[in-house]
Amino acid sequence: MVTRVFCQTVLHTVSARPLRSAILRLIPRTALLPWLSSRAVSVSEWPLLSSPPRDYSLPNPSWSTEMRRLYEYYDSLCEKEMEGGEKKPGGWGRLPSYNRTLKYAAGGKCLSKLLKEKARLFTRNTEEQGAAFEYVVFMNKSEKRCVCIFQAGHLLEGPPGNVHGGAIATIIDTSLGTLAGYLSGIVMTANLNINYCSPIPLGSVVLIDSVLDKVEGRKTFVSCQVTSSDGSKLHTEATGLFISINVGHLFGG
Ligand SMILES: CCCCCCCCCCCC(=O)SCCNC(=O)CCNC(=O)[C@H](O)C(C)(C)COP(=O)(O)OP(=O)(O)OC[C@H]1O[C@@H](n2cnc3c(N)ncnc32)[C@H](O)[C@@H]1OP(=O)(O)O
């Protein structure tokens, strides 16, 4: 608590960037571990944002007509506040996506400076819209299921004209990890099994439909299918095992 307040105070009161960085460098990282370990930060707490960040999962000019059509379809299924404060039930919700969630979590601004300041979420590390991973995840909590709409950009080439298998694994890990994290809190991937059934053309839009299979203690088992946007072609299928961890595990604890 003391460390957190101190960091926030430094960031809010010391305006000179070099001085701020120098002061923050003096705080031993290990001093933050007890606070991190004692605080089970669940995904549902992440929207406590300290400043308005860019949400990468919102439509941008690089999105194809098909990507927008699917976005609008799932967005129409989302719970929305209607006139008079009533909520239109939908069961679905869109998850926001930032290039460094830590930076925008409550109290995370100073932590993001202490911990590898230049780090960026792998799937959101380019500002060039449409060049790499364009995606949005819609979650259905009651069905324990999520759908990721993914448009693969030109930087993801593997076989000529098609998406690299590692990029497909990345978006699968992201989708399954998002579902497992949403349902079980903070998790890490322990195992991924992927069957590549048919190539994904660069520039195309695919759906990654992920479901929960079971939870056994710290183990969350999930699986997904990657299909063409109309569901007629199976591109990839995968299963994943995610293990719940204490936040301290991320810092060598
Ligand atoms: C909104 C979101 C936005 C953000 C959206 C962002 C989403 C991105 C998601 C990306 C996620 C990642 O890429 S994570 C990065 C890639 N993954 C990693 O680097 C993980 C490296 N591995 C580890 O740190 C560790 O091995 C762990 C945490 C996975 C497990 O270690 P541990 O905590 O010590 O647990 P341990 O006792 O070993 O295992 C616990 C139980 O799981 C079993 N177990 C462990 N590993 C395996 C395994 N590979 N296959 C089968 N079973 C396993 C054990 O047998 C045991 O079973 P039993 O005896 O209890 O029955």
Q: How many structural domains comprise the chain? A: 2
Residue nearest to atom 5 of ligand 1 (CA): 178
Q: What pLDDT, on a 0 to 100 scale, did the predictor assign at position 51?
A: 55
Cα 253 to middle of ligand 1, angstroms:
14
Which residues are known catalytic residues? 173
* 132 shares a domain with 115: no
Q: What is the reported pLDDT for 186?
A: 95
CA–centroid distance, residue 189 to ligand 1 (Å) = 5
Q: Are residues 2 and 75 in the same domain?
A: no
Same domain, 248 and 179: yes
Question: The domain spanning residue 243 has which CATH number?
Answer: 3.10.129.10
> What separation in angstroms does the CA of 51 have from each of 92, 97, 106, 215?
25, 14, 9, 35
Question: What is the structure's pLDDT at 12?
Answer: 38
Q: Which residues span the domain enclosing 103?
A: 1-50+99-125
Question: What residues contact residue 22 under an 8 Å CB cut-off, 6+ apart?
Answer: none
Same domain, 91 and 112: no
Query: What are the structure tokens assigned to 47, written together?
Result: 């929207």
Residues 23 and 130 in one domain: no
Q: What angle do CA 64, 152, 234 make, to 5 degrees?
A: 100
Mark whether 62 and 159 lie in a shared domain. Answer: yes
Q: In this predicted structure, what is the pLDDT of residue 35?
A: 36
Q: What is the per-residue pLDDT for 83?
A: 74
Cα(19) to centroid(ligand 1), Å = 39
Distance CA 64, CA 129 (A): 12
- Quickly list DSSP for the chain: -HHHHHHHHHHHH---HHHHHHHHHHS-GGGGHHHHHH----GGGTT-BSS----TTS--TT--HHHHHHHHHHHHTB-EE-GGG-EE--SEEEEP--S-HHHHBTTHHHHHHHTTTT---GGG---STTSSEEEEEEEETTTTEEEEEEEE-GGGBSSTTBB-HHHHHHHHHHHHHHHHHHHHSSEEEEEEEEEE-S--BTT-EEEEEEEEEEEETTEEEEEEEEEETTS--EEEEEEEEEEE--GGGGGT-
| For the CA of 176, the nearest atom of ligand 1 | 9
Pairwise CA distance, residues 204 & 66, whole Å: 9
24 and 13 together in one domain: yes
- 106 and 135 in a single domain? The answer is no
Residue for token pair 């992927």: 194
> Which atom of ligand 1 is found nearest the CA of 43?
1
Q: Is 207 in the same domain as 228?
A: yes
Q: 120, 136, 188: which to mutate for ligand 1, most atoms within 8 A of CB? A: 188
Please give, one letter per residue, the 3-state secondary structure of 207-242.
Answer: EEEEEEEEEECCEEEEEEEEEECCCCCEEEEEEEEE
Cα of 101 to ligand 1 centre, how many Å? 20
* 41 in the same domain as 115: yes
Nearest-atom number in ligand 1 for the CA of 181 is: 2
Q: Are 133 and 145 in the same domain? A: yes
Report pTM.
Answer: 0.83
119 shares its domain with 131: no
Q: How far is the CA of 175 from the centre of ligand 1 (A)?
A: 16
From first to last of its 253 residues, what are the pLDDT tens digits of the chain?
334 433 443 343 333 344 344 434 433 333 333 333 333 344 444 444 445 789 999 999 999 999 999 999 999 999 887 777 777 776 899 999 999 988 877 777 788 888 888 999 999 999 999 999 999 999 999 999 999 999 999 999 999 999 999 999 999 999 999 999 999 999 999 999 999 999 999 999 999 999 999 999 999 999 999 999 999 999 999 999 999 999 889 888 7
Atom of ligand 1 nearest to the CA of 97: 3
**Ligand 1 binding residues, C-beta < 6 A:** 43, 95, 101, 173-174, 177-178, 181, 188-191, 217-219, 241, 243, 245, 249
- Tell me which of 120, 243, 245 to substitute to probe ligand 1's pocket, judged by most ligand atoms within 8 Å of the beta carbon: 243
Beta-bridge partner residues of 209: 147, 225
What residues contact residue 174 under an 8 Å CB cut-off, 6+ apart?
123, 135, 137, 148
Query: Sign of the C-alpha dihedral, residues 37, 40, 43, 49?
Result: negative
